[in-house]
Structure 1
Amino acid sequence: MKLGVPGKVLQFLLIGIVVAAVGTGLWLLGPISEQRSKKLDEKRISDLQFINGALQSYWNINKKLPSDLKKLENLPGVLISTNDPKTLQPYVYRVKGTANYELCSEFETESTGTLSRWSHGKGQECFEFEIKEESR
């Protein structure tokens, strides 16, 4: 079936609309690699939050901080990831005092969320913590 001039114009117009819609959608989402990096950073923050909670639990049981994150694996009911989701390297954990410690990770993007406690720039970022008084 041959299309007349109006049919061809309509066909090209529809193709143009579809291409524009797809292009706009991709532009709004940002590059796929950037989205992947943001998801990895969200996972890193989630891991660090769970590690922080597990460290509080460890303190409640042992009244001291563990020497390394591997000790958290023996806590009952605690399932945490202590390794970066991309590099599979362990997160950095440093005991800074009797009840003080820091957790560090390498981030691929700058945070844009509202979790100010967990705000981070691109690159290495460390978060300092102190065991809460009621846990001591």
Structure 2
Amino acid sequence: MPHVAFDRTFAALATLAVVAGAGAGFWVLGTPGQQRLIMSDRQRLEDLNAIANTLYWRKQEQTDYALPDGLDPADQREDPITQELYRYSKIDENYYKLCANFATDSQTHKLANTHSKDWQHPQGLHCFELELGQPPPSLY
């Protein structure tokens, strides 16, 4: 009988360890739904970075290039969830803003976000002010 008690104790401890490991994983990484929100925010940042790179390289190729009042339809990108266009606004001849509506606060999910501090954002609508003559900050 002592062998049966040992097996039951071992099975209970193994089950407890698996449950604790799964719980710790969800606590550290978030639920699958939370991970989807983080990935959609990462896509938003990649889209904004692509728009900024397009404007920067146009300026490098055309010395007389001026910031447009609105983006060319070919340069516009859509939010991966809402399919709305990202917001662009010209501040002056050298500066502009790119805005997106983020699902998460990048400060909350340190392990999931690999983007640089220049692309940190709160949850909700956030705008990044960028300079035309400077390359956009790296995402990573």
Bucket of the pairwise TM-score, normalised by the shorter protein: 0.7 to 0.9
Q: Does 1:95 align with 2:97?
A: no
Q: Which moved more, 1:57-66 or 1:94-103?
A: 57-66
Quote the residue 1:37 is aligned against. Answer: 37
Question: Which has the larger helix fraction?
Answer: 1
Deviation string for 1:31-65 (max 9, x for gaps)? 22222222211111111111101012233436122
Quote the residue 2:117 is aligned against. Answer: 116
| Alignment size in residue pairs | 124
Instruction: Between the two structures, name the one with larger relative contact order (CA 8 Å, sep ≥ 6).
Output: 2
Distance 1:37 1:94 in 2: 26
Q: Which moved more, 1:20-29 or 1:54-63?
A: 54-63
Q: 2:66 aligns with which of 64, 85, 91?
A: 64
Distance 2:76 2:70 in 1: 13
Moved over 6 A (4+): none
CA RMSD of aligned residues (A): 2.5
Paired-residue identity, %: 31
Matched residue type, 1:5: A
Q: Which of the two has higher C-alpha Rg?
A: 1
> Alignment partner of 1:101: what SS?
strand
Contact kept, 8 Å, 1:47 with 1:81, in 2: the verdict is no
Displacement, 1:70? Answer: 3.3
